[in-house]
Structure 1
Amino acid sequence: MKIAWGITGAGEKLVETFETMKNIKKKYKDIDIRVFMSKAGEQVVKYYGIAEKLEENFGKIWVEINSNSPFLAGQIQLGKYDFLLLAPCTSNTVAKISLRIGDTLLTNAAIMAQKSGVPVYIMPTDFKEGKTLTTLPNGEKLELTITKHDVEHVRRIKKMNNTHVFKTPEEIYEIIRNWKNIGKGGKKNEKIDKKIN
């Protein structure tokens, strides 16, 4: 199994997602995880102090130069990856996918995956309208306001072909188990989608 893991500029659940992916790599020796970061993603992993840990655990990290470099979209179209995982995913990236704006490495890859029938798994940071607390790198809490527009974009991508939306890093284990047990996704992915209101 070969997975393209895309890291956007979201700090919310970033460290937890890293720990999850590290554990999956250790547990499943037959899974090849390649890490791709947006320009903002590169900044955020440094800010949260996990840049070196990513390289230690996953080897070479590919960082966005433009929407087609590195050529992730083309590799996905050619079936080089079983699926694309965007986790965590900023409201900006979600909105661009929703509006079909493929002007970044990861939005272009997601849109091309959808068009090519390659599954895309997205863990958005913004699910529910209203106030939410996020944890900063120094451990302090920051209150954010999630707008109805942010939530609407999540609802829109959830309805798109070959796209599965989930809420927590722990659900990635379920995604992996489903792929290993069923192969190429399967009906159990519907269970993941139903968790999002």
Structure 2
Amino acid sequence: MKLLQLNKYYTTVYIRPIAYKDSNEESANLLYPENALLIYSLPMGEISEKKAISVCVSSWTRVMQNMIPPMTKATACYLSSALATTEALENGFDEAIFLTINENVSEGPGENIFIIRNGVLVTPPVTDDILEGITRDTIMRIAREELGINTVIRSIPRPELYLAEEAFFTGTAVEIQPITEIDRIKIGNGEIGPITKKLEQLYFETVQGNNPRYSSYNTPVY
């Protein structure tokens, strides 16, 4: 909060804390007692100028639980993310989707993913190498409490992506990012779906402090 006050922010801001080992030793291990913390912030603005994006399934596989645990937001994982996003951009897409080693849908390079099948939200489980995102949890709560839509947490095989009625990413930076095309195949009718639109509206009302039911999500800065 003090960081935001000192920078005199009065807009949506991205805050990133980085915890790291502060040691001059050359050995790579996590046993050093010197812990350090860096926090920076910047105005978020629009992460994507597009209201909806086109994505592809990446040729890069998501890191596994026994490699670099995806459930932690580890800096080392971002090399894998950068490779997937770069590949997507170079091939004319806006973003990528990772598959697991078992070829189930995992997540985006920096986002969780939801699809809608038969009016039901579906999202991959933790066992499919995802980060347990705060925005992911928020969307599941809003969908349940505001729209009466439950979320099924289960593995999603790649072909099911193309059968989805709607799809979207969630994350701290992207918030809710509708997906209307995967591997050049239109999702639904190729437009932002009605459930995605409603969830997007409800999410922004929540995080911007315009829904008193979810006031616990908000902390006054000034």
Do they superpose with TM above 0.5?
no
Q: Which has the higher helix share?
A: 1
- The structure whose RCO (Cα within 8 Å, separation 6+) is larger is 1
TM-score of Structure 1 vs Structure 2, range by shorter chain? under 0.3
Q: Which has the higher strand share?
A: 2
